[in-house]
Every structure is written in C-alpha cells, then in structure tokens.
Amino acid sequence: MMTILGIETSCDETSAAVVDDGRHIRSNIVRTQKAHEAFMGVVPEIASRCHVESVRPAVQAALSEAGCTLSDIDGVAVANQPGLVGALLVGVHFAKGLAAAAGLPLYGINHIYAHIYAAFLAYGDIALPALAVVLSGGHTVIFRMESVHDYTLLATTRDDAIGECVDKVAKYMGLGYPGGPVVERLAREGRPDAVDFPVARIKGSDIDFSYSGLKTAVIQTVDAGGDIPRADLLASFQRAVFTPVLNSLERLLLRQAGIRSLIFSGGVTANGYLRERARERFTLPVYFPPLKLCTDNAAMIAGLADHSFRRGEPGDYHIGASPRAEWVREKTAG
C-alpha cells in the first residue's frame, strides 16, 4: 500500500489529506478562509498569511484523522501551479521542509489536473479518453484527457473565468461572496428564458469562451432598473453562463475521436442547473464529483501524485511555484 500526504494552498482553502493507493481517502481537512468575505473576493496577501497560520494545524489534523504519523507516509504532494503564487509558496515550502526532514519524495502537482482527478477518487476507473471540464473561480478549461498523465487543452476563456463572472455579478447585485451558491439558490425560482443575455461570439473560435461581455450585459440590465424579478434575471444569467460550456462540449464531441466520458470538476460544477442540463444533453457517461471533492481540496492532490509515485518518478525538492500552468494546446482546436 502507498500512502501519500497531500497539501493544497492555491487559493483561499488550506487543505491537507492522506490518501491510500490514489483511491482511498483517509482524511481530507479543508479550512476555508473566512477573512476574504468582508472584501467580497480573495485578497492574495491575506490568503498567504492565513495559509501560514493554518498549514501546520491542517497537516497535523489530516495525519491524526487518518490515524497515522509521518512514518506511515510514503510521499508528500503539494499543489505548485497554477494559483496565487504567494499562497502556493506557503504550501510548497512547508511541504519541502516536511519531506526533506522525513526523507520522503516530494511531488509538485498541477492543481487543475488534480481537480479532474477528483472524479477518479469518487468513481474509480472512468473510461478514457474523456473530455474533462474544469470550471472554477480562476479557470474555465476543457481538455482531452488520454490518461492521468496526458492532457491536451481544447478550450479556454479569452477573458474572465466563469466563476469570476458569477462572483462579480453577485457582488454587483449585493448577494455576497462567493456568489455561485446564492445565484443558484435564487435562480431556482426564476425563468431562464426571461432575459435573452448574449452568448459571446469569439473571433476565430466556436469553442473558446468569453465572460466579460456577459458580466457587463447583466450589470447594464440591473442598472437599467425595470421590473424584471431578481429570480428571473439570475435564472437567465445562469443559463447564459452554462450554455456556452454545453455548446462547446457538443461541438467537441463531434470533432474529437473516440471520447468515452465527460468529467466535470471545479467549484462552479457544484451547480445543479449545470448538472441537470449536462445529464439531459449528453448520452455518454457524465461524472460530477461530490461537492466536497469539486472545490479545492488536498485529497485530489495526493490522489494524482500517487500515479507519479507508482511510475517511479523520483520526486524533486527543487520545485518552485507558478501562477500559471503551461498547457499543451491542440493546434486545430476551434
């Protein structure tokens, strides 16, 4: 049995987890930083400071909940890209110190690939190749996934991330932070066809996304006053947010050979409207991890690292942290 300790500090969750064999979650401690709520968005400097305070207690709690000590751990994994670089560095340096002191290999993990791996933690084997969709506060991406080591970027946003768009609209409407859950709750009572928000057309692509125009359109509608009920406005907004994702997937399924499943992950995929529409629209198996694994967590980091460990990758004490990840983009996409 292989046991990996995972650490995740890419944004505003401090998380640590212990995972056996890339499959069995023994503990998954997630401490969400509340300090950002007053600012209606994540403040990077505050995030780093909170991680400094929470990372050691989170790791201790993960070990103790798993009923183990460092001597039971075979490797340490840490998210080192993409994310807020100051926040990532806290996890990376803590993990380096811990791994070096304990003589364990250290793996730097791509946080976005780890989000996709959450579906494998939840459901075990998933038929590949898959189209894998990660929608979060910072990312709006679709990959062709051949294996847990092989991803090709097919679609991304040209401007705002999808969750950023939802959060900014919610903030403008005074709905608090994060915006996603409250938008979904209020939209449930509304008519999705009440307002015809524009679906962005993007130069040179019918696959990529653009969310800044939608954000502006909603803000202008709010500013115009009028008598559109808030629930109708939000239901229409929610439809306009998710329709481009569903449309791009449909087009990609026609163009990409041999796709056997659809995998969704990232905080925005907690959304019930998206889940229902995706299950309605596609006949392929559609996987949505349970909510706790959709949002930022360290179990997905530890789980994915298990595969590097098994391949005999030696680990690296010299890893850095990077705000961006380098993707392999398909030449012919879009």
Q: Which of 12, 21, 16 is nearest to 303 (CA)?
A: 21
> What is the footprint of ligand KG4 within residues 124-163 (CB under 6 A)?
136-138, 163
Nearer to Zn ion, 100 or 291 (CB): 291
Query: How far apart, in whole angstroms, are the C-alpha atoms of residue 322 and residue 121?
Result: 25
Q: Phi-psi category of 326—alpha, beta or left, where left has phi over 0 and alpha has psi -120 to 50?
A: beta
Query: How far apart, in whole angstroms, are the C-alpha atoms of residue 162 and residue 241?
Result: 7
Site membership for Zn ion, residue 3 (CB under 5 A)? no
- 286, 292, 295, 300: CA torsion to nearest 10: -80
Site membership for ligand KG4, residue 181 (CB under 6 A)? yes
Nearer to ligand KG4, 38 or 224 (CB): 38
> What is the footprint of ligand KG4 within residues 2-31 (CB under 6 A)?
11
Nearer to ligand KG4, 2 or 222 (CB): 222
> What is the footprint of ligand KG4 within residues 248-287 (CB under 6 A)?
266-268, 270-271
> What is the footprint of Zn ion within residues 279-318 (CB under 5 A)?
296
Site membership for Zn ion, residue 160 (CB under 5 A)? no
Site membership for Zn ion, residue 136 (CB under 5 A)? yes
Q: How far is the CB of 302 from Zn ion (least distance, A)?
A: 15
Q: Binds 108, which of Zn ion, ligand KG4, none (CB < 5 to 8 A, cut-off by type)?
A: none
Query: How far apart, in whole angstroms, are the C-alpha atoms of residue 301 and residue 95?
Result: 12
Query: How far apart, in whole angstroms, are the C-alpha atoms of residue 73 and residue 235?
Result: 47
Phi, psi of 160 (to 5 degrees): -70, 150
For 186, the enclosing helix (H) or strand (E) is helix 179-187
Residues at the contact surface with ligand KG4, assessed by CB under 6 A:
11, 136-138, 163, 166-167, 178-181, 184, 266-268, 270-271, 295-296
